[in-house]
């Protein structure tokens, strides 16, 4: 796959449309020498369209490169963001058919995406079954929206490892991610460390299925959750300003926290999602199990005279 960069394309946008099937590249390097105002690689079909690499990395984006976008593709190979600005939209890392990432060397697996500088925006993407973890951030900025991280694993930060830079994640789902060895690693879904690091989860993002496998989040620094959370969930926000502030430690439970049995949570109001009391206690004649949105009427023939 060759990207033409002749004189007719100088300072112009260029979109490369791929046909369905497998496309193997020798490792793309985008830098200041690519004289385009913008480059997009996408597909013109709803059939699976995969880009795979014959070398260790699929793509490197360096400082000075034009803005770059990948859209609607299955990606098999490591993407390195070393500068510039990139978008990944509606892409899949890890096959629906259950294939695993190939080894870069004997005994080692690579994360799908590494960010050291620059900015990467990810939306409506899926990272599934990656045996080296999904994303690592050592610098720059990562923004994730409406994406899913499912059944990924690594030594630390099964889905996301952050040791530098700023990370913002909203309306996304982390489920069943884990560390490969709970005695030596932490952060089944997310591991955060470093003094120049920021993590903000926000707007309905959930982490489930990592309890006992490194925890939902393991962090050496304070990290935040910006409300709203899903209904029938809460974060600790005594200031009631809509921002849950979490200290360093291992959060070995699903996050945000589900409302307990005997309570319900049917409102996105900050006051109903900022404390364990949620929206309130079940009313007489109703039943509330764990994570109840609306109180459930007691069945005919049963008697519920009190709250609970």
Could you read off the pLDDT tens digit of each residue along the chain, which spans 308 residues? 545 444 444 568 899 999 999 999 888 999 989 889 999 999 988 888 999 888 878 999 999 999 999 999 999 989 999 999 999 999 999 854 444 444 443 345 789 999 999 999 999 999 999 999 999 999 999 999 999 999 999 999 999 999 999 999 999 999 999 999 888 889 999 999 998 899 999 999 999 999 999 999 999 999 999 999 999 999 999 999 999 999 999 999 999 999 999 999 999 999 999 999 999 999 888 999 999 999 999 887 666 554 44
Give the number of other CB atoms < 10 A from CB of residue 19.
Answer: 10
Q: What does DSSP assign to residue 282?
A: P
Rounded to the nearest 5 percent, the helix, strand and coil shares of the chain are: 0, 45, 50
Helix (H, G, I), strand (E, B) or coil at 164: coil
**Whether this model's pTM surpasses 0.85:** yes
- C-alpha–C-alpha distance, residues 82 and 108, integer Å: 22
Strand ranges (E), 126-189: 126-128, 135-137, 141-145, 148-150, 153-154, 160-162, 165-170, 173-175, 178-179
155 DSSP β-pair partners: none
pLDDT tens digits for range 63-81 = 999 999 999 999 998 999 9
- C-alpha–C-alpha distance, residues 158 and 257, integer Å: 20
Q: What does DSSP assign to residue 32?
A: T
Helix (H, G, I), strand (E, B) or coil at 18: strand
Pairing of strands 249-251, 217-219: antiparallel
Give the number of other CB atoms < 10 A from CB of residue 291.
Answer: 19
């Amino acid at each position: 796959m060759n990207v033409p960069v002749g004189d007719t394309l100088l300072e112009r946008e260029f979109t490369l449309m791929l046909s369905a099937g497998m496309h193997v590249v020798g490792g793309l390097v985008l830098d200041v020498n690519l004289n385009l105002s913008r480059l997009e690689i996408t597909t013109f079909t709803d059939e699976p369209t995969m880009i795979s690499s014959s070398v260790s990395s699929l793509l490197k984006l360096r400082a000075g490169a034009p803005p770059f976008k990948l859209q609607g593709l299955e990606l098999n190979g490591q993407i390195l963001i070393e500068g510039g600005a990139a978008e990944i939209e509606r892409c899949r890392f890890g096959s629906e058919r259950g294939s695993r990432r190939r080894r870069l060397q004997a005994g080692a697996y690579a994360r799908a995406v590494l960010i050291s500088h620059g900015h990467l925006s990810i939306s409506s993407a899926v990272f599934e079954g990656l045996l080296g973890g999904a994303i690592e951030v050592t610098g720059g900025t990562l923004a994730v929206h409406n994406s899913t991280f499912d059944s990924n694993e690594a030594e630390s930060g099964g889905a996301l490892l952050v040791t530098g830079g700023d990370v913002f994640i909203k309306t996304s789902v982390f489920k069943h991610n884990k560390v490969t060895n709970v005695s030596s690693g932490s952060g089944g879904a997310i591991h955060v460390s470093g003094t120049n690091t920021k993590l903000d989860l926000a707007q309905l993002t959930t982490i489930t299925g990592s309890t006992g496998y490194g925890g939902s989040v393991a962090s050496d620094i304070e990290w935040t959750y910006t409300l709203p959370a899903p209904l029938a969930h809460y974060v600790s926000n005594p200031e009631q300003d809509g921002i849950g502030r979490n200290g360093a430690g291992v959060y070995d439970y699903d996050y945000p926290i589900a409302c307990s049995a005997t309570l319900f949570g049917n409102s996105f109001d900050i006051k109903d999602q900022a404390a364990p009391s949620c929206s309130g206690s079940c009313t007489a004649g109703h039943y509330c199990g764990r994570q109840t949105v609306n109180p459930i009427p007691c069945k005919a023939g049963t008697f519920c005279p009190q709250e609970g």
